[in-house]
Amino acid sequence: MHSLKYISSIIIAFSLLSCKAQEPSSEIVVQIPSIEQEATSIWRTINDIAFFEQQGYNIQLPNDPVIDSLIAKSKAKTFGNEDYPTIFNLLESKVYQESDYEKAFKKVKTQAPAIQKMLRQLSTEQHKWNWDFKMYPTYTVVFTLYGTGGSYDPDTGTITLFTNTEGGFMNYENPANTIIHEIVHIGVEESIVQTYQLSHGLKERLIDNVVTALFKDQLPNYRIQNMGDRKMDGLINAQEDLHNLDQTISEFLKKS
């Protein structure tokens, strides 16, 4: 696999407030993806195509017979690492254009002040909680034209954000909704999601409730997805409900 190269990026420094001690400032790096990164995004989407279809996700992939054949391989469980060069060559020869990401890049840049305010609030609030919310000194937001809308890597703090050539985003016009959603995903992954082995539906319901409790004023158009158990909604309505979230989830699962 080719080494990654970053074609274009901006760094927005976010000074995060601490209730306990002064911490190094965090930053978000927003990147236009390289061909390698897009090939990896497509490979991962095709590799998990059966799961995404089962969950009802809207999936975006290049419209090409090569991709159709790889999807068939994935469903037949014969798709693997050896198919990555085929995807890379397709992008390099006829699909990838750096200019396709420029409108999305500019839109996210304009949201920097709003995201900065929410990150500062998140940093302040999480110090009040009796469980560990993981925050990174750097979050890397990488655009993609392919996949299901947004994804996260809890081990690196990387967020993959779907866009289109017109700078549109899946599910929301305002990309801050998805970026904050994925940041919260990263924060609760180890201490809550993995500890209590939450199903995919419950995990998404939890994230949506946490985002709404924290940022309903800043993100008025944020929506709770039709996934997981609706009974969770009554447990997480305000910022104070997050103080003992681990205990709340533990008791919720015992009653479910």
Average pLDDT, the chain: 88
Q: Indicate the SS3 state at residue 194.
A: helix
Its pTM stands at 0.81
User: Residue 181: inside a domain, yes or no?
Assistant: yes
User: Residue 199: inside a domain, yes or no?
Assistant: no
User: Residue 34: inside a domain, yes or no?
Assistant: yes
Residue 46 exposure: Cα atoms within 13 Å on the Cβ side = 27
Across 146-166, average pLDDT:
90
Total structural domains in the chain? 1
Residue 2 reports pLDDT greater than 50: no
Across 137-146, average pLDDT:
91
Cα–Cα distances in Å, from 239 out to 122, 128, 198, 210, 243?
10, 10, 21, 8, 8
User: Residue 226: inside a domain, yes or no?
Assistant: no
pLDDT tens digits along 118-133 = 988 999 899 999 999 9
Instruction: Judge whether 184 and 235 are in contact, CB under 8 Å.
Output: no
pLDDT tens digits along 207-245 = 999 999 999 999 999 999 999 999 999 999 999 999 999
Band (25; pLDDT cuts 50, 70, 90):
low
User: Residue 49: inside a domain, yes or no?
Assistant: yes
User: Residue 210: inside a domain, yes or no?
Assistant: no
Q: Scanning the structure block, which residue is given the tokens 């990150």?
A: 119
How far is Cα 164 from Cα 183, in angstroms, rounded to an integer? Answer: 21
Across 200-209, average pLDDT:
95
Which domain does 82 fall in, by range?
8-86+96-194
User: Residue 230: inside a domain, yes or no?
Assistant: no
Residue 29 reports pLDDT greater than 70: yes
pLDDT of residue 113: 83
User: Residue 247: inside a domain, yes or no?
Assistant: no
pLDDT tens digits along 178-195 = 999 999 999 999 999 999
pLDDT of residue 57: 86
Residue 16 reports pLDDT greater than 50: no
| 112-126 and 200-215 helices, crossing angle to 10° | 100
